[in-house]
Amino acid sequence: MSEFCIIGSGISGSTIANLLNKKYSVILFDKARGPGGRASFKRINGKTGFDHGTQYISPKTKEFKKFTKDLIKKRILKVWRGKHVFLSSKKKEDKKHLKVIGKNGNNDISKHLLKKINCNYHSELKKIYYKNKLWYLLFDDGKLRSFKNLILTCPFPQLKKLSKKFINNSFLRKSIKMDANITTMIAIKKNKNSNSSYLFEDSILGWAGNENSKKRFKSKYDLWTLQSTFNWANKKISKNKNNKKENSKIMIDKFFKLSNIKKTKIYYSLNHGWRYSSNSRPFKIKSYWDPKKRLGVCADWFVGPRLESGWISAHDLFKKISR
């Protein structure tokens, strides 16, 4: 039996798994088909695809800057160059910070960190129980597994549902609503003068990234990832599965209008809704660890909305476990 069970393969789950695996035996479960969490890469054919969650990494802290520099040297990450058009008057563009991306997809960090970890995908956790100093986990396949140590890295609403009987801490009693995001991925006719990305000032469309400009693959189409604003997605996310075509059309029409790219044929379009995209209101603590029950929680929403926040939370949890 593995000493630590980790739920989630996003940046928090993959980071804490990598840190713990240096001293303990670790096993990881995730309901998705592969690693990355909200930094997933939607593969279409071969290397072709879309970063349909996290668009890029812009390191802020000294520690995370060092981490990303090391991964750039190892050719796991690279700098996303090109012309990035900043159209927002509400936010100031920080030109000093690089846009860092995965060499093959933005889930490359999780893939790298999980190379030596026993990972089980398509495994959705349904319930947890605590008895006789062991954690019992019931998965969607009906199997009940037991572990001495449990680490949860899921979004706040899911964590609250799973663990409210077992965590006696004020952070879990807070009422927070994680922001949603709707992503539309499109393939259009090649445009020689396409920019690498756009940050818009609009109530519906917040961002557009040209996947071809990341120079991971060659495609006969221009592939664009369009992401909504949080406010618009929060209103639309509950019915997005039924209204995918309608919501995508609204975002696509906005894209052509705001970018001034000539409207052309849409060769294919994909829609993905992130119900729990991010939390912009950080907690007073960066992670949670109960040494008696051996239950831990780390996630980006403890610290902030950026991918780096999840990495910080995982390192904070590891320090608590190691004391």
pLDDT at 46 over 90: no
Residue 212: partners with Cβ closer than 8 Å, 6 or more residues away: 194, 219, 222, 223
Please name the fold of domain 179-278.
Polyamine Oxidase; Chain A, domain 2 (3.90.660)
Strands 84-86 and 197-199 turn out to be parallel
- Give the position of tokens 């706040």: 156
Residue 149 pairs in a beta bridge with: 4
User: Is 61's pLDDT higher than 80?
Assistant: yes
Structure confidence at residue 222 (pLDDT): 95
What local confidence, expressed as pLDDT, does residue 286 receive? 96
Annotation: CATH topology of 4-78+106-176+283-322: FAD/NAD(P)-binding domain (3.50.50)
Q: For the whole model, what pTM was predicted?
A: 0.94
Find where tokens 């993959």 sit.
Answer: 14
Q: How far is it, in rounded angstroms, from Cα 320 to Cα 190?
A: 51
Q: Please report, for the chain, the start and end positions of each structural domain, with discontinuous segments joined by +.
A: 4-78+106-176+283-322, 179-278
For the stretch 71-110, pLDDT in tens is: 999 999 999 998 898 887 666 656 667 899 999 999 999 9
At residue 96, the pLDDT reads 64
- Label residue 190 exposed, middle or buried (CB < 10 Å: 0-12, 13-18, 19+): exposed
Bridging pattern class, strands 295-297 and 288-290: antiparallel
On the CB side of 13, how many CA atoms lie within 13 Å of its CA? 32
Q: Compute the distance between CA of residue 130 and CA of residue 227 in angstroms, rounded to an integer.
A: 40
Q: How confident is the model at residue 270 (pLDDT cuts 50, 70, 90)?
A: very high
Q: Which residues contact 145 (CB under 8 A, 6 or more apart)?
A: 5, 136, 137, 139
Give the pLDDT score at 299: 96
